[in-house]
A and B are shown apart, each in its own frame.
Chain A
Amino acid sequence: MNTQLLLQLLLNGLVVGTLYGVVAMSFVLIYKATQVVNFAQGEFLLVGAWICWWLLTRYQLPFWLGLPITLIFMLVFGIALQVCLLRPMIGEPIIAVIMVTIGLATVLQAALKWTFGTNLQPFPPLFAAQTVDVFGLPVQTVYLFSLSVSLVAMAAMAWFFRSTRYGLAMRATAFDQQVAQSLGISVKAVFAMAWAISAVVSALAGIVVAVVNGVSAGLSVYGIKVFPAVILGGLESIAGAVLGGVIIGLLENTAHFVDSEYLHWGNLYEIAPFYALVIILMIKPHGLFGIKEIERI
C-alpha cells in the first residue's frame, strides 16, 4: 500500500471537494431560491476564470484589482441573465427551464472558445513560494490558497444567510414565495440576487481552479460534477451541498487510488461520481439532507 500516494490523493480530494462544495452551494442557492436547475453553472466558472485571466494578462492588472473587477462583472452578468432569460420562463414547465439553461451553456461554451481559443492558458503565478511546510509536510501553496478561499466563501455564505436582512429575505422566499411576497419582500429582486450571488461565488471558484490548473474549456466539468454532489447532499440543503461536494471529491480521488494501485482500468477517476450518483438515486433519492416531497391530491 502506497501511503504517500494515498495521503497526497486524499489531500487533493479535500481541495477539489471543497471547490465542488462551493460550486454545489451556488447551484443549490439558485435551485432553492428560484426553483431553476442551472445546467450552466460550470460555464459561470469558465466565464469568471477567462475574464480574470484576460484582465491579468492583457492589461497586466494586479490580482487584487483584477479579482474584484471580475466579481463585479459576474454580479452584473448574473442579474442580466436572470432578468433577460429566466424571468420570461417563470411558470413554464421544468423541462423548458432546464433547456434554457442548457442552451445558455452551449452558447457560453462556444462563445468563450471562440473568444479565447481552445488551448489551456496558464494563470500568472500568484505566489513566490511553490510549497509551504505544514507540520513538516510540504503542501503546495495554491492548494492552501484554494482551501482557504473555499472556506471563506462558505463562511461568508453562512453569515449572509444567518445574519443579514437580504439573506433572511432569500430564505423566506425559498420557504414560500407567496408568503414572502405578502410580507413585502420583492421576489423579483430576490431571484435576481440569487443568480448574482451564485454567479459571483462560482466565478470565484473558477478563478481558484484557474490559479491551480490554468484556464481551459475543461473547467466547465465542475458544472457536471456538481450533480452527484447536490444529489448526495440533497437538493434543498446548502450544508448538504458542501458536504456532498467534499465526499464526491474524496470519492473521486479514492477511486483514482484504487484504480492506479489495484484495478488498472483507467478513467475510473472521472466516472466514479456518476456510478455513485446512480446508486444514490436508487436507494436514497432525496440525499442526506433533502426534503422528501409528500404529495396530496
Chain B
Amino acid sequence: MATQSLLPAGDFRTTYADDTPIFPTRVSRMAACAAVALLCLAPLALNQYWLSLMIQIGTMAIAALGLNILVGFTGQISIGHAAFFGLGAFASAYLSTKLSVPTFFAIPLAALITAAAGLVFGLPAARLKGLYLAIATLAAQYILLDFFARAEWFTGGVVPAMAAPFRIFGITLQGDRQYFYVVLAYLVASFVLVTNLMRTRDGRALIAVRDHYLSAEIMGINLAKYRTLSFALAAFFAGIGGALYAHYQGIVSSEGFGIDRSILFLAIVIIGGLGSIMGTLMGTVFMVLLPEAMEALSALLRGGAIDQALGLRSNIAFLREIAIGLAIVFFLIVEPDGLAHRWARIKAYWKLYPFSN
C-alpha cells in the first residue's frame, strides 16, 4: 500500500497484502520509476564503451535472476547455468537465421526451448537434493557444451553461428544505442515478472521448499513439481539473457559458455544476495565492473615496479580471474548475505541516525 511516503517506525502489518508490497512507500515507487527513466536517458550521455558494459550487465542480470530463483529462492544448486545461457543464444541464432523467425519472436521462443531443456535436466532434481543435484548440473554443463560442439546443424560447430540483428515493426535496430532499449525493456519486464512471481502461491511454494522441504510437502506442496519448475524458470531467464546476448554480438561461438561463466553467475547471485531480486542486479553490476576495475588498476600501475615484477599487462586475464575468485571467497566469509543485505544495513543506519549504532 504505497500511500505513505515514509515507513512508520514500527512495522505494523495487518493484512497479507500489506506484507507483500512491491514498493513499501510512495518514495520508493517514485525512486524506481525515476531510475528507469534515468536509464532511458543513459544512451544519450554515455559513450560506446559504457553502453556495451551496460548491455552486458543487462543480459547477465536477466540470466542471473533466473539462477537466483533456483539458488536463492528454491535452495537448489546449479553449476551449469552458463550452458543454458549458451543454449538460449544458439537457439535464438538458429531460429532467426536458419528458420527466419522474426527476432522479436525468436527471443521468447529461444527462452521456451531453453526452459524445456532446463526441465529435462531438472528432472533429477525431483529425486535429488543438495550436493547430488549440484553434481547433476555439473554433468548438464559438460553434456550441453559437448552438444554445442557436436551439433553442427544447430550451432555451426567450429564456425560461429550468425544471429540476425534485432528487428521490430520492420525497423532494424542498429548500434548499441538502440539495442540498449531492447535490453532495458527485457530487464525491467523480467524483474517485474519475478518480483510478482514471488508474491504468488507458486513463489511462496518455492520459498517453502527452500526453507524446509519436509514441512512444505506436509503442507501440500508438490516437491518434485516445484523443484523441476524452478529449474525450468531458471533456464527460461538464462535463455532470454543468452538470446539477447546473441543478437547483441551478432555471432555466437561455443566459447564463453563454459564452467567459468557458470561460476560467474553463481558468484553474482551470492555477492548480490541469495533470494534478493534487487541484489541480483547489484551483484551483476559488481561482477561486470570488477574486471574493469582490475584493468584500471593495472593501467594505473603501468610502468611502475609492481608492473614490471608481475608482468601485469600480459597477465590481465589471470588478474581478472583471481579477482573474481577472491571476491567470491571474501563475500562468503565476510558478508554471506550479499550486497543487498549490506544495502539494507546502510539504509537502516541512516533511518535511525544519529541514534544508530
A residues engaging B (CB < 8 A)?
37, 85, 88-89, 92, 94-96, 98-100, 102-111, 113-114, 224, 227-228, 231, 235, 265-267, 270-271, 274-275, 277-278, 281-282, 285, 295, 297
Q: Contacts A100-B332, A107-B329, A275-B143 known; A267 to B150 CB distance under 8 Å?
A: yes
For window 275-290 of chain B, which residues contact chain A by CB distance below 8 Å? none
Candidates A92, A103, A114, A274; contact of B325 at CB < 8 Å: A103
Evaluate contact between A282 and B124: CB separation under 8 angstroms: yes
Known: A107-B325, A110-B321, A111-B318. A37 touches B142 (CB 8 A): no
- The CA of A22 and the CA of B143, in the complex, are separated in Å by 25
Task: With A231-B135, A278-B143, A282-B123 given, name 17 new contacts (CB 8 A).
Answer: A37-B131, A95-B71, A98-B131, A103-B326, A104-B329, A105-B325, A106-B260, A111-B318, A228-B139, A266-B150, A267-B146, A270-B146, A274-B139, A275-B143, A277-B136, A278-B139, A281-B124
- Which of B75, B132, B267, B315 meets A231, CB within 8 Å? B132
The reply to whether A95 and B77 contact each other, CB–CB distance below 8 Å, is: yes
Asked whether A100 and B322 contact (CB < 8 A) given A227-B135, A271-B142, the answer is no
Q: Which residues of B contact A297 (CB under 8 A)?
A: 214
- Judge whether B315 and A92 touch: CB under 8 Å: no
> B336 at the A/B interface (Cβ < 8 Å)?
yes
Contact check, A103 vs B332: say whether CB atoms are below 8 A apart.
yes
Interface centre among B135, B274, B326 (most CB of A within 10 A): B135
Would you call A110 and B333 a contact (CB within 8 A)? Answer: no
Within 8 A of A (CB), among B308-340: 310, 315, 317-322, 324-329, 332-333, 336
Cβ A224 vs Cβ B138 within 8 A:
yes
Indicate the member of B128, B136, B267, B310 with the most A CB atoms within 10 Å. Answer: B136
Output the nearest chain A residue to B213 by Cβ-Cβ distance. A295
* B127 closest partner in A (C-beta): A285
- Residues of the B chain whose Cβ atoms lie less than 8 Å from the Cβ of A94: 77, 130-131
Cα separation A275 to B322 with both chains bound (whole Å): 31
Note all chain A residues with C-beta closer than 8 A to B263.
Answer: 102, 106
Q: Is the CB of A295 within 8 A of B214?
A: yes
For the complex of A and B, the 5 pairs showing the least CB-CB separation, nearest first, are A106-B325, A103-B328, A110-B321, A107-B325, A114-B318
Contacts of B136 in A (CB 8 A): 277-278, 281
Beta-carbon contacts under 8 Å, B123-171 to A: 123-124, 127-128, 130-132, 134-136, 138-140, 142-143, 146, 149-150
Nearest CB of chain B from residue A216's CB, rounded to whole Å = 15
Q: A99-B270, A100-B333, A297-B214 are in contact. Are A37 and B321 (CB under 8 A)?
A: no
Within the complex, the shortest CB–CB distance from B141 to chain A, in Å, comes to 9
B91: Cβ under 8 A from any A Cβ: no
Q: Say whether B266 faces chain A, with CB atoms less than 8 Å apart.
A: yes
Chain B residue with the shortest CB-CB distance to A31: B131
Interface pair B150/A110, CB less than 8 Å apart = no
Q: Quick check: A103 and B329 within 8 Å, CB to CB?
A: yes
Residues of B within 8 A of A92 (CB): 332, 336
Shortest CB distance B259–A (Å):
8
Q: Is the CB of A227 within 8 A of B138?
A: yes
**22 pairs across A/B with beta carbons < 8 Å?**
A89-B332, A96-B332, A99-B266, A99-B270, A100-B328, A102-B79, A103-B324, A103-B327, A103-B332, A105-B325, A107-B325, A108-B325, A110-B322, A114-B318, A231-B135, A270-B146, A277-B139, A281-B135, A281-B139, A282-B124, A295-B214, A297-B214
| Complex CA–CA separation, A100 to B325 (angstroms) | 9
A residues within 8 A CB of B270? Answer: 95-96, 99
Question: In the complex, are the beta carbons of B322 and A107 less than 8 A apart?
Answer: yes
Distance in angstroms from B339 CB to nearest chain A CB is 15
A109 to B25, CA, bound (A): 47
CB nearest to B143 among chain A residues: A274
Kindly state the separation between the CA atoms of A271 and B315 in the bound complex, as whole angstroms: 31
Give CA–CA (A274, B141) in the complex, Å.
Answer: 9
Q: Which residues of B contact A113 (CB under 8 A)?
A: 318
Most buried by B among A99, A113, A266, A274: A99
A107–B326 CB distance below 8 A: yes
A111 to B128, CA, bound (A): 35
Q: How far is the CA of A228 from the CA of B329 in the complex (A)?
A: 26
Which B residues are in CB contact (< 8 Å) with A105?
A: 325
B324 nearest CB across to chain A (Å)? 6
| Measured CA separation A295–B75 after assembly (Å) | 18
Query: Considering only CB atoms, which chain B residue lies closest to A268 in the complex?
Result: B146
Chain A residue nearest to B141 in the complex (CB): A274
In the bound complex, what is the Cα–Cα distance between A114 and B316 (angstroms)? 9
Smallest beta-carbon distance A14→chain B, Å: 24
Q: How far is the CB of A256 from chain B (nearest CB, A)?
A: 14
| Contact partner, A102, options B128, B326, B328, Cβ 8 Å | B328
Are the C-beta atoms of B128 and A281 separated by less than 8 Å?
Answer: yes
> How far is A270 from B145 in the complex, measured between Cα atoms in Å?
11
A281–B134 CB distance below 8 A: no
Q: A237 to B353, alpha carbons, bound, how many Å?
A: 56
From A85, which residue of chain B is reached at the shortest CB distance?
B329
Task: Report the Cα distance A85→B142, complex, angstroms.
Answer: 28
A106 to B138, CA, bound (A): 16
A212 to B336, CA, bound (A): 42
Contacting pair B332 A99 (CB below 8 A): yes
Which chain A positions have C-beta within 8 A of B71? Answer: 95
Which residues of chain A are within 8 angstroms of B318 by Cβ–Cβ distance? 110-111, 113-114
Q: Which residues of A contact B315 (CB under 8 A)?
A: 114
Contacting pair A235 B150 (CB below 8 A):
no
Residues of A within 8 A of B325 (CB): 103-108, 110
- A109 CA to B324 CA, complexed, in Å: 12
Q: Mark B58-81, 1 if CB is under 8 A from A, else 0.
A: 000000000000010001010100
